[in-house]
Amino acid sequence: MPVTSSSRLNLFPGGLERIPLRAIGAALSSIALLALFAGGCGKSAAPSWEETDGSEPSSLTAIGEGAFPRFSPDGNTIAFTLCLDDPEDPSGVTYEIFTMRPDGTDLKCLTRDKPELSGTRWKGQPYWHPSGEYIAFTAENASLNRAGTGTASRPGLGRGHDVWIMTSDGGKFWRLTDYPENWGVIRPCFSRDGGLICWNEEYSMEKYPQGLPGDPDDDPLAPGRQGHPGSYWSLESFRYRKGEELGAWRFRIADFSLEDGEPVLSNSRTVELPQGYTLIEGAGFAPSGNQLICSCADLSETGGRGIWGDIYVIDLSGDISQRLTDTPFIHDENPEYSPDGSMILWNASQGDPGEGEDLWIMGTDGGNKTRLTHFSEPGYAEYDPNGRQITESSWSPDGERVVFGHVSSPERAGIRLPSTLYLLQMGSYLEFFLAPL
């Protein structure tokens, strides 16, 4: 039957006890560490980190504020997340989903002051259905308590969020999941044929419903309950959740269809990585729809810490099919296949977590790694001494442009995510990748 507010996918029909949480720090933001890539293989002319000549990108233009941008299937519209002042929210801000033209004009808000969303707070991470008629996104459940400062409830961090679908004009809304307290959702994504949808779910509450023996006792007055159920969603996870410092994440996949214009989910299932690997963030489907691409950590290479991710391709059972980057203790994330499936964008950091990220491109075999931006390197037009993370990227359908968000802040982002949207013309890079060997 169609998914409505009363017949949505309930992953936990028995429910879970709502649990008071410790105060959360403001340190959770995009995690990434030093990226020092060697030159590519195959085409010997591929510029490496050391070989770049100082020339700026062929065309890099700031088009407005925002994060998590996505080109529409026809290439005429960009959907994105924008942080706004909101005196009615205890934090003083809200996050809403907007659309605009690629030149930054015709700005429209799709999610604010909508009665169907009255039970939500922050919304973000839009993703277009291939038909162009629907947009998946996440929204924070207003009935759940925020932890501490609320930073972990920001879009892209996802505590307390659910998966939603709306029509691309913001006229109708459907809630697709109903997660309990202390779970989380980020990054919904459709397969290219639109027949599958996936997202990342944080499932520490399933793994550690009573916490772990090494946890400090959260509630000494409750006999028999040891420690902190689920994730701490804060720096406490670095002490008590080794290997899952950023959370215990997995893919959830469901079949997606439409009945009389309303979304229907069926055959929901999870995809978990092999033992010894930690999923940091899943980016979505490979072009075939039979594989997934993600950032994950091989704990045997990182001292048991699930902080620094490499780019991997996995099959729908969770088995690893391909490793595309090989930089332990250096974080790679946000891989995005080009429309023709021949190239992959991703971003990598040059510093501490959430600092100095730049955009890169490589072939689907992991070769020809080429740096596209230089926010972290003095001497370039776009150099930014306050540069932090890249808030995802998206190809235009013709593959000639890329839109991405970039955070600039003298301090690590807390409640606010000060991200600027950029449009990058890919002309010279396409010429390189399409040139005969």
Per-residue HEC secondary structure of the chain comes to: CCCCCCCCECCCCCCCCCCCCCCCCCCCCCCCCECCCCCCCCCCCCCCCCCCCCCCCCCEEEEEECEEEEECCCCCCEEEEEEEECCCCCCCEEEEEEEECCCCCCCEECCCCCHHHCCEEEEEEEEECCCCCEEEEEEEECCCCCCCCCHHHCCCCCECEEEEEEECCCCCEEECECCCCCCEEEEEEECCCCCEEEEEEECHHHHCCCCCCCCCCCCCCCCCCCCCCCCCCCCHHHHHCCCCCCCCEEEEEEEEEEECCEEEEEEEEEECCCCCEEEEEEEEECCCCCEEEEEEEECCCCCCCCCCCEEEEEECCCCEEEECCCCCCCCEEEEEECCCCCEEEEEEECCCCCCCCEEEEEECCCCCCEECCCCCCCCCCCCCCCEEEEEEEEECCCCCEEEEEEEECCCCCCCCCCEEEEEEECHHHHHHHHCCC
Looking at the domain that runs over 60-221+233-434, which CATH code has it been given? 2.120.10.30
Residue percentage of the chain with pLDDT more than 70: 81
Region of poorest pLDDT, from 23-37, 87-101, 186-200 = 23-37
Q: pLDDT tier at 349 (50, 70, 90 boundaries)?
A: confident
Whether residue 318 is predicted with pLDDT greater than 60 in this model: the reply is yes
- Name the residue with higher pLDDT: 385 or 213: 385
Q: pLDDT tier at 77 (50, 70, 90 boundaries)?
A: very high
Q: Residue 213 has what pLDDT?
A: 84
**pTM for this predicted structure:** 0.86
Whether residue 112 is predicted with pLDDT greater than 90 in this model: the reply is yes
Q: pLDDT tier at 227 (50, 70, 90 boundaries)?
A: confident
Whether residue 435 is predicted with pLDDT greater than 80 in this model: the reply is no
Whether residue 25 is predicted with pLDDT greater than 50 in this model: the reply is no
Q: Residue 76 has what pLDDT?
A: 98
Q: pLDDT tier at 300 (50, 70, 90 boundaries)?
A: very high
Q: What is the mean predicted confidence (pLDDT) over 6-15?
A: 39
Q: Residue 223 has what pLDDT?
A: 58
Q: Residue 249 has what pLDDT?
A: 98
Whether residue 355 is predicted with pLDDT greater than 90 in this model: the reply is no
Q: Residue 356 has what pLDDT?
A: 84
Mean pLDDT of the chain: 85
Domain boundaries, the chain: 60-221+233-434
Q: Residue 55 has what pLDDT?
A: 43
Contacts for 252-259: CB closer than 8 Å, 24+ residues apart: 252/11, 252/198, 252/199, 252/200, 252/201, 253/196, 253/197, 253/198, 253/316, 254/9, 254/196, 254/197, 254/198, 255/195, 255/196, 256/190, 256/194, 256/195, 256/196, 256/197, 257/195, 259/1, 259/2
Q: Residue 431 has what pLDDT?
A: 67
Q: For the segment 78-97, what is each residue's pLDDT rounded down to a tens digit? A: 999 999 999 999 999 999 99
